Amino acid sequence: MLNFILVEASLEVVPREIQNHPQIKAYAKRFKKKPEKILLDKSYHYQAMGKLPFKEKRGRPDIVHFTLLEVLGSPLNFERLIKTYIHTLTNYAIYINPETRLPRNYNRFIGLIEQLFQVGKVPLEGEPLLTMEKLSLENLLKKINPSKTFLLTEKGKPSTPIMLAEKLEKEVNPVIMIGGFPHGEFKDETLKLTDEKVCIDPKPLDTWIVASRVIAAYEAKIGLPEKRLKIQP
Amino acid sequence: MLNFILVEASLEVVPREIQNHPQIKAYAKRFKKKPEKILLDKSYHYQAMGKLPFKEKRGRPDIVHFTLLEVLGSPLNFERLIKTYIHTLTNYAIYINPETRLPRNYNRFIGLIEQLFQVGKVPLEGEPLLTMEKLSLENLLKKINPSKTFLLTEKGKPSTPIMLAEKLEKEVNPVIMIGGFPHGEFKDETLKLTDEKVCIDPKPLDTWIVASRVIAAYEAKIGLPEKRLKIQP
């Protein structure tokens, strides 16, 4: 079983200090929502975000959307061999039921996540697909109890996806952590919770590309395509 | 060089026969656009699409968006070792400059593609990143002049991504064709232009998952991670 955490994910509602900014108020009015219930989105709130600390890391729910579609749609997830978590920049842990079929449409995804931030789970009735709680990354990792944590970062040891997959395969309960933010450095807290830093490409790759490379290599390493296709290895 | 064609891509403006449907008119009014300039989107035009032929294959620009982000963000594209094309259900060929940095935001992507359908290229000034022309798949393939065409389909010969990559590597000018629509069968025309049908998973996979698996396996096969990371193979 592979544990996948999208760490420092750029997913939050509009923070209090900019809820009265004219750009936020106009946006809220247009979509008939309350400012505090709107998901922060750099595409629409760029000016309002001007003075936010660490603004270069914030307001990118599209990164979470693409990456989750990449992970949840993988054959590895169909086999229930990967557990998917999000840990946000503002210290929320989000648990994702592997059966979740996320909306493909971005605006519907945003609506779903806004509901999640408001209520703590979606859907409201029946078995929840996404649930959320305030929790540090450290405490999320305590729950998972990994045998080893790997962080994907340009500052890690150069390693092809296949070399990484070989290491993952040897672990009882490995955790893969991939940054869910567009630019900037990892927090010290994240680095402290990392056992091994790995670099799969010298250039910065989009989060969903890193996710697909790691998962594809792991699938290949454990012979999943052969198994699913019933081909003799 | 690998040629990648997203075939039968679910990308078109609202067709004439439903431009007067109340759902389309309301949508057009809300966004202050003319119905004939709006991109068809099942998320918003579901009712209006009720009587369209082949409606199960149409109105999914998100598939094109995700898949292009997956291809253009790949190390293979950074090395300019893949050429990316779209061929739409309604017979337009779209040429994609490998340097294109697409909008990550879905709504901005839609705006860009609407402009492309209107003008035939984007951006309007300077070197075009996307250009479009009415062209059959047959004539697009004549331009590319492939040594062999491969179509990814559940009805193909079972083959792991790595087995497929081995075949691709042996070709001088191979074309990979992946369906850019959500459900339904390939057109006869597409099948006739296929030299080899390949199945990489027994279950239907999302288009962007197929794209990432094929590209990741090809990168691994040609030793691209080792080369970029300067690791001895």
The residue to which tokens 């869910």 are assigned:
A180
Please name every residue paired with A139 in a beta bridge, in sequence order, or none if there are none. none
Shared domain check, A77 and A35 = no
Which of B160, B178, B214 to mutate to test binding with chain A, by most A CBs within 10 Å of its CB? B160
**Chain A contact set for B201 (CB, 8 A):** 75, 225, 228-229
A104/A71 same-domain check? yes
Question: Same domain, yes or no, for A21 and A6?
Answer: no
Question: Residue A198's domain spans which residues?
Answer: 2-11+58-229
Phi-psi region of A219 (alpha: psi -120 to 50; beta: other; left: phi over 0): alpha
Select from A152, A211, A148, A202 the least CA-distant residue to A174.
A148
Residue A208 C-alpha, separation from nearest chain B C-alpha, in angstroms: 8
**Which among B121, B126, B203, B200 has a CA at the least distance from the CA of B164?**
B200
> Are residue B45 and residue B93 in the same domain, yes or no?
no
> B23-77 pLDDT, tens per residue?
999 999 999 999 999 999 999 999 999 999 999 999 999 999 999 999 999 999 9
Residues A82 and B129: their CA atoms lie apart, in Å, by 37
Residues of chain B with C-beta less than 8 angstroms from the C-beta of A78: 203
Q: Do B43 and A108 touch (CB under 8 A)?
A: yes
Per cent of chain A over pLDDT 70 is 100
Confidence of residue B232 (pLDDT cuts 50, 70, 90): confident
Is the CB of residue B14 less than 8 Å from the CB of residue B35?
Answer: yes
Same structural domain, B32 and B140 = no
Q: Are residues A20 and A90 in the same domain?
A: no
Does residue B216 share a domain with residue B133?
A: yes
Q: In this predicted model, what pLDDT tens digit does every residue of A5-55 receive, in sequence order? A: 999 999 999 999 999 999 999 999 999 999 999 999 999 999 999 999 999
In sequence order, which residues have a C-beta less than 8 Å from that of residue B179 and are 6 or more positions away? Answer: B6, B7, B8, B152, B153, B186, B207
Residue B228 to residue A202, Cβ atoms within 8 A = yes
- Residue A128 Cα to chain centre, angstroms: 18
Vertex A206, ends A205 and A209: CA angle to 5°? 85
Kindly list the residues from chain B whose CB atom is less than 8 angstroms away from the CB atom of residue A66: 66, 69, 104
Q: Do A105 and B62 touch (CB under 8 A)?
A: yes
**Chain B residue closest to A230 (CA)?**
B158
pLDDT digits (tens, 9 = 90+) for A138-173: 999 999 999 999 999 999 999 999 999 999 999 999
For B34-98, the three-class secondary structure string (H helix, E strand, C coil) is: CHHHCECCHHHHCCHHHHCCCHHHCCCHHHHHHHHHHHHCCHHHHCCCEEEEEEECCCEEEEECC
High-pLDDT (> 90) share of chain A, %: 99
Q: Are residues B73 and B35 in the same domain?
A: no
Confidence check: pLDDT of A233 > 80: no
Q: How many contacts (CB atoms, under 8 Å) link A and B?
A: 125
Per the listing, tokens 């592979």 go with: A2
Supply the Cα-derived Rg of chain A in whole angstroms.
Answer: 18
Let me know: does B4 contact B168? Beta carbons within 8 Å: no
Does residue A119 have a pLDDT over 90?
yes
Length of chain B: 233
- With CB atoms and an 8 Å threshold, state whether B208 touches A62: no
Residues A41 and A117 in one domain: no
Residue A194 pLDDT more than 80? yes
With CA atoms as reference, the chain B residue closest to A201 would be B229
**Same domain as B176, residue B102:** yes
Tens digit of each residue's pLDDT (9 = 90 or more) over B75-134: 999 999 999 999 999 999 999 999 999 999 999 999 999 999 999 999 999 999 999 999
- For residue A102, the number of C-alpha atoms closer than 13 Å in the C-beta half-sphere is 27
Distance CA B149, CA B200 (A): 16
**Which residue does chain B place closest to A79, by CA atoms?**
B203
Taking an 8 Å cut-off on Cβ atoms, the answer to whether A75 and B212 are in contact is no
Q: Contact B184/B132 with Cβ under 8 angstroms?
A: no
Contacts of A74 in chain B (CB under 8 A): 209
Domain co-membership, B29 together with B128: no
Residues of A with CB under 8 A from a CB of B: 41, 43, 60, 62-63, 66, 69-70, 73-75, 78, 104-108, 158-163, 199-203, 205-206, 208-209, 212-213, 216-217, 220, 225-226, 228-231
CA distance A219 to A149: 19
Instruction: Please give the helix or strand (H or E) that residue A95 lies within, else none.
Output: strand A92-96
Averaged pLDDT score across all residues of chain A: 97
Q: Output the domain CATH number for residue A145.
A: 3.40.1280.10
Q: Is the pLDDT of residue B16 over 80?
A: yes
Do B26 and B46 lie in one domain? The reply is yes
B75 CB neighbours in chain A (<8 A) are 201, 203, 205
Strand partners, A87: A93
How many domains are there within chain A? 2
How many angstroms separate the CA of residue B196 from the nearest CA in chain A? 17
**Above pLDDT 70, what percent of chain B?**
100
